[in-house]
A = this chain, B = another copy of it.
Amino acid sequence: MRPPSVSDVARRAGVSKATAARVLGGYGRVSAAIHAAVSAAAAEIGYRPNELARSMTTGRSDTIGIVVGDIANPFFAVAVHAMSQVLRAEGFGVLLANSAESLAEEKAAIDTLLGRRVDGMIVSPADMRESSHLRAIVDSGVPLVQFDRCAAGLAVAGVTADDRDVAAEVTHMLIRRGHRRIAYFTACETDSGRFSDLEEIGTGSVRERIAGFLAAGEGLEDTALEVVVGAVGAKRAQSLATEVLSRGAEAPTAMIASDSTIGLGLYTAARAAGIAIPQALSLVTFHDADWTAIAHPGITVISQPARRLGEEAARMLIRQIQTGDGTCAHRVVPCRIIPRGSVGDGPVS
């Protein structure tokens, strides 16, 4: 049994399909009497407009595609929430896709979304080094806003946090407090399993942060900044941290975690090794997760404006759709450093 269509309503109301469509679609002019009759007939048989068919002719689907790395990650969850609120208020539905931070899956997701004729897309590119699939979006004439990360050499709007600046700021702070050996932990992987070049880091936001981190130490002779890659998940982060901390006098006196899951791993590793925070080790993590305020001591965090980033991206996209304006504005939303107590003075202070 197919659901009732305009024709069914028309037949029941004894009018032409065109007239019924005018009433049901809310366009054109119809006499009050007929309007009432059609509305009544529609209610009786439970008519519900087929938005697919409507999209077919209007060319608009009133749907926005969102592709993020991992919806279970609180940062993305909050951002997606914010986006969908803003979009819903404007009458858009949200088609959500997870890329699992895999380029292949991201491409596949974008393909499906383009096939579904979304009116716009918000994508957080898994790898800033590959942007052909993003270009395909633009070439299809579909408005696009990059989220949290931006692909290299692509003139497309984007909303990001001030990753590089805030990373540099926090690193400077650690150096100022006397730290000379600082390690940055990221979940990103490299072919060799070690970090040697910024180019190896595909995730745009992380690359920015590491760039800021390294820039902060540039020119300082006695300062050793180290980047540890492959810290995927708390478990792995913990074991990597344990390894690094076991270097004794050569071990870093301060650590920066690229996300709160890693931060948790580092914190756990320090506790397990009996290393006192902040006396023997300073710790800073990105993302203001619940546990950071509860920990002893409280963990100094870089709070990411997930909600504002999401809202901003959605608004930017809507503007682009409504005005048809393709200017590739880049909006940077500042992070906030929340000092809590996990940062102490280093050996040289």
Q: List 5 A-B contacts (CB under 8 A).
A: A72-B78, A84-B96, A84-B97, A94-B95, A294-B294
* CB of A111, distance to nearest CB on chain B (Å): 8
C-alpha gap A287/B217 in the complex (Å) = 41
Number of interface residues of A (CB under 8 A): 53
Q: Which residues of B contact A115 (CB under 8 A)?
A: 48-51
A61 CB to nearest B CB, Å: 7
Q: Let me know if B74 and A70 touch, CB within 8 A.
A: no
Chain B residue contacts of A293, Cβ below 8 A: 291
Segment touching B, from A52-60, A168-176, A192-200: A52-60
Tell whether A71 pairs with B77 under 8 Å between CB atoms, given A53-B56, A115-B50: yes
Query: Which residue of A52, A115, A291, A293 has the most chain B CB atoms within 10 A of its CB atom?
Result: A52
- Chain B residues whose CB sits within 8 angstroms of the CB of A95 once the complex forms: 63, 93-96
Q: Quick check: B77 and A117 within 8 Å, CB to CB?
A: no
Assembly stoichiometry (copies): 2
Q: Is A289 an interface residue (CB 8 A)?
A: yes
Interface residues of A in 89-110 (CB under 8 A from B): 93-98
Q: State in angstroms the CA–CA spacing of A77 and B296 once bound together.
A: 28
* Inter-chain contact A70/B81, CB cutoff 8 Å: yes
CB-contact partner of A77 in B52, B61, B72, under 8 A: B72
List residues of A whose CB falls within 8 A of some B CB: 1-3, 46, 48-53, 55-56, 59, 61, 63, 70-74, 77-78, 80-81, 84-85, 88, 93-98, 111-117, 139-141, 260, 264, 267, 289-291, 293-296
Contact indicator B93/A116 (Cβ below 8 Å): yes
- For A73, give the chain B residue with the smallest CB separation: B77
Q: Which of B51, B78, B88 contacts A116 (CB 8 A)?
A: B51
Whether A71 contacts B71 in the complex (CB less than 8 A), given A51-B116, A140-B3, A294-B295, comes out as yes
Instruction: Please determine whether A48 and B114 come into contact, CB atoms closer than 8 angstroms.
Output: yes
Question: Which among A88, A96, A260, A294 has the greatest number of chain B C-beta atoms within 10 A?
Answer: A294
The answer for the CA separation of A222 and B96 in the assembled complex, in Å, is: 52
Q: How far is the CB of A146 from chain B (nearest CB, A)?
A: 20
> Are A71 and B84 within 8 A (Cβ)?
yes
Indicate if the CB atoms of B81 and A71 lie closer than 8 Å. Answer: yes
* B52 x A61 contact (CB < 8 A): yes
Chain B residue nearest in CB terms to A100: B85
